[in-house]
């Protein structure tokens, strides 16, 4: 068993040729003891403090040395703690070239990405062409998650900016996940979230996730404008595929505007393939307003969904806003 890829923690190797990292069934209860030994009894640097922080992945410091890393696969890796990638890390050790991310059996991980203060880490809305920034995760195209039960959501609306090239997302047996996109942990201005970019994601597959109730809420549809394929398998708690808002109550959309609404119109213009299998709390699949946007839909399969009463449901849309000032 090993708990550190390199020792001492202050190593400065150039691993520029390394394109793939795979760990499987590594780490253990002695992580912190071994991490302490690896420091060699000297002064603890700022980098070392991050490395031995029990909330973060034990090998965070290696991302900067692996600047051509394309594929990262972590399975049953006990060195992964609560957060895999800290977005507002002071030393900015993030994999810029990563293309695929495969995470499985990470039982302590509660966040794949986490930023404690997005206001200090936001990307300007409009960058001159000559000043386009190279962003971490901008090359990430595929994400596969399985058996990560502490995850409540995958990413925030603001994180979408960094995942602008994401094309495929698969989530399997993550029983704690409640949302794909959520702003619950963000401390950013609501206007920034509304202006967050969309991804190139074309395929989403969710299977055996028993805490999620809505696959794509109305506030996330705009981030998935290019979605072409959606598959949902064996999800016991799903009640809606596309959430068009609450039938009652109010929604705070900005700090000053309260939106009273019965429904939001959801448009998924590029969706071509929709498959739903054994989701027994689902009473309907689409509303008339959503159906009107499905000009390219050529495959629809709904099977073994015992709660289905109708495929398309008619819902009246009314809304108005009240200024809180």
Burial of 245 (0-12, 13-18, 19+ CB in 10 A): buried
In this predicted model, what pLDDT tens digit does every residue of 244-259 receive, in sequence order? Answer: 765 433 343 433 333 4
Highest-confidence segment of 28-42, 55-69, 97-111, 123-137: 97-111
Using CA atoms, how far residue 81 sits from 44, 57, 211, 267, in Å, is: 20, 6, 22, 38
**Averaged pLDDT for residues 116-137:** 61
DSSP 294-316: -TT--EEEEES-TT-SEEEE---
**Averaged pLDDT for residues 237-247:** 80
pLDDT score for 161? 77
**Structure-token pair, residue 271:** 């969706």
* Chain center to CA of 69: 20
| E runs forming strands in the chain | 20-26, 71-77, 83-86, 100-104, 111-114, 142-146, 153-155, 168-172, 179-181, 203-207, 214-216, 229-233, 240-242, 250-252, 257-261, 273-277, 284-287, 299-303, 310-313, 319-323
Query: Could you tell me the pTM of the whole model?
Result: 0.79
Longest dimension (CA), the chain: 68
**Structure-token pair, residue 98:** 């990563």
**Structure-token pair, residue 303:** 């099977």
Domain residue limits, the chain: 20-25+49-121+134-323
């Amino acid at each position: 068993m090993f708990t550190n890829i390199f020792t001492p923690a202050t190593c400065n190797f150039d691993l520029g040729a390394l394109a793939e990292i795979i760990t499987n069934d590594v780490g253990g209860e002695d992580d912190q003891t071994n991490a302490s030994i690896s420091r060699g009894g000297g002064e603890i640097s700022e980098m070392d403090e991050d490395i031995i922080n029990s909330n973060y992945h034990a090998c965070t410091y290696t991302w900067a040395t692996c600047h051509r890393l394309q594929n990262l696969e972590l399975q049953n890796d006990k060195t992964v703690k609560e957060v895999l990638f800290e977005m507002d890390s002071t030393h900015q050790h993030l994999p810029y070239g990563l293309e695929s991310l495969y995470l499985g059996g990470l039982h302590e991980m509660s966040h794949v990405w986490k930023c404690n203060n997005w206001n200090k880490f936001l990307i300007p809305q409009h960058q001159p062409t000559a000043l386009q920034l190279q962003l971490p995760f901008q090359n990430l195209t595929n994400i596969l998650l399985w058996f990560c039960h502490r995850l409540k959501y995958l990413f925030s609306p603001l994180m979408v900016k960094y995942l602008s090239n994401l094309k495929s997302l698969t989530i399997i047996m993550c029983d704690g996940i409640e949302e794909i996109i959520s702003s619950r942990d963000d401390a950013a201005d609501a206007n920034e979230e509304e202006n967050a970019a969309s991804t190139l994601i074309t395929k989403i597959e969710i299977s055996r996730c028993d805490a999620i109730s809505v696959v794509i809420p109305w506030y996330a549809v705009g981030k998935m404008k290019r979605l072409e394929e959606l598959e949902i398998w064996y999800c016991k708690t799903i009640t809606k595929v596309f959430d068009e808002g609450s039938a009652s109550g109010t929604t705070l959309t900005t700090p000053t505007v309260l939106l009273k609404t019965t429904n939001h119109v959801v448009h998924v213009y590029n969706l071509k393939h929709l498959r739903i299998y054994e989701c027994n709390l689902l009473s309907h699949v689409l509303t008339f307003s959503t159906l009107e946007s499905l000009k390219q839909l050529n495959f629809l399969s709904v099977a073994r969904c015992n709660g289905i009463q109708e495929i398309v449901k008619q819902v009246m849309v009314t809304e108005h806003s009240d200024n809180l000032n």
